[in-house]
Amino acid sequence: MSNYVWHDGFVPRDVTHCPLDVADSWRHSSGRTNGLHLHLERFSRTAGPLPSGFVDEMLGLLEQGELFPRIAAVSSLLLLDIRPAPPARTETRLTYVTAPDPRTQPLVKGPDFGALRTYRSRHQVPDTDDTVITASDGAMLETTTGALVMWDGNTLCIPDGVWLPSVTLHQVTARAESMGLRITPRHITPECAADHPLWFLNSLHGISPVSEIHTSSGVITPPPHPNYAQWRHWWWDGFL
């Protein structure tokens, strides 16, 4: 991993662990990205405009291979961490727990990273990939690292609570709209997911079907989506 700080150009820095004011990250695959402008726009909405030359110099530092770069703002500093990306998951197994919401700024990526790590370490059961964050009534809102959507026939259902404005979810809903599919907020529970396809979405793994939801009373297996392979290929074809 390589770590930099911006001072009219990127300068190597020592790694320090501190709370982040705002952050964004994405998969960088063999020199290509999917929706980079959307990630930069989301970051800039909170952190302010990026300085001239920042993006071009950043892209010049990203070598070939599978990478997971992250930009972050801490006080007046802009940071860049270039990390290796893990293999993309072809399915996702979730832990479901009704526990207090760890998020303090659910609409901003970055400041809750520490609380989300603690939440996962406290609640996530072995052999699962991520942990669901729930509303007070038990409805699923998102996970600690990604968005959730459910399908009811040709209707794309998004959680009806508060969740991080996900770039990958935005891409999926935009495609659904272009196909003339209905999009509606829905109270998404594990019981609903037992009968309807559930997808995990983020910019590291893309579209990953949820294959298992581990609850206190057992394991729920959502059904597969008949057109999942087409959607997954569409997302991976978006790397430019």
C-alpha to C-alpha distances, 83 to 53, 64, 235, nearest whole angstrom? 21, 12, 22
Q: What is the pairing mode between strands 198-202 and 147-152?
A: antiparallel
Domain residue ranges in the chain: 2-82, 92-236
Structure tokens at 32: 């290509």
Structural contact between residues 212 and 128, judged by C-beta atoms closer than 8 angstroms? yes
Amino acid identity of 196?
H
Provide the residue-wise pLDDT of the chain in tens; the chain has 240 residues. 899 999 999 999 987 778 999 999 999 999 999 999 999 999 999 999 999 999 999 999 997 899 999 999 999 999 999 999 999 999 999 999 999 999 999 999 999 999 999 999 999 999 999 999 999 999 999 999 999 999 999 999 999 999 999 999 999 999 999 999 999 999 999 999 999 999 999 999 999 999 999 999 999 999 999 999 999 999 999 999
pLDDT at 200: 98
Name the CATH superfamily, with its identifier, for domain 92-236: D-amino Acid Aminotransferase, subunit A, domain 2 (3.20.10.10)
pLDDT at 224: 98
pLDDT at 165: 98
Q: Which is nearest to 117 in space by CA: 136, 139, 145, 89? A: 145
C-alpha to C-alpha distances, 228 to 99, 128, 236, nearest whole angstrom? 31, 21, 12
